[in-house]
A and B are shown apart, each in its own frame.
Chain A
Amino acid sequence: MHIQLNGETYALSGPLSVAGLLEHLQLAGRRVAVELNFEIVPRSQYETTHLKDGDALEVVHAIGGG
Chain B
Amino acid sequence: MLRRILSLIIKEFLTLWKDPKSRYVIVAPPLIQLVLFANAATFDVTHVALGLWVEDTAHPATELVSRFEGSTAFDVVAHFDNPGDVERALSAQRVKAVLHLGQTFSADVLSGRPAKVQLLLDGRRSNTALIVQNYAASILEDFQRQRSPKPDAGLQLETRAWFNPNYDSKWFILPGLTVLLTAVATILITALSVARERELGTFEQLLVTPLRPMEILLGKALPPTCIGFVEANVIAGVAVVVYGVPFIGKILLFHVAVAAFAISTIGIGMVISSIARTQQQAILGVFIFLAPAIVLSGFATPIANMPLWSQELTRINPIAYMVRLTRSIFLEDVSWAIAWHQLWPMLLIGIVTQAYSTWLFARKLQ
Is the A/B pair a real complex? no
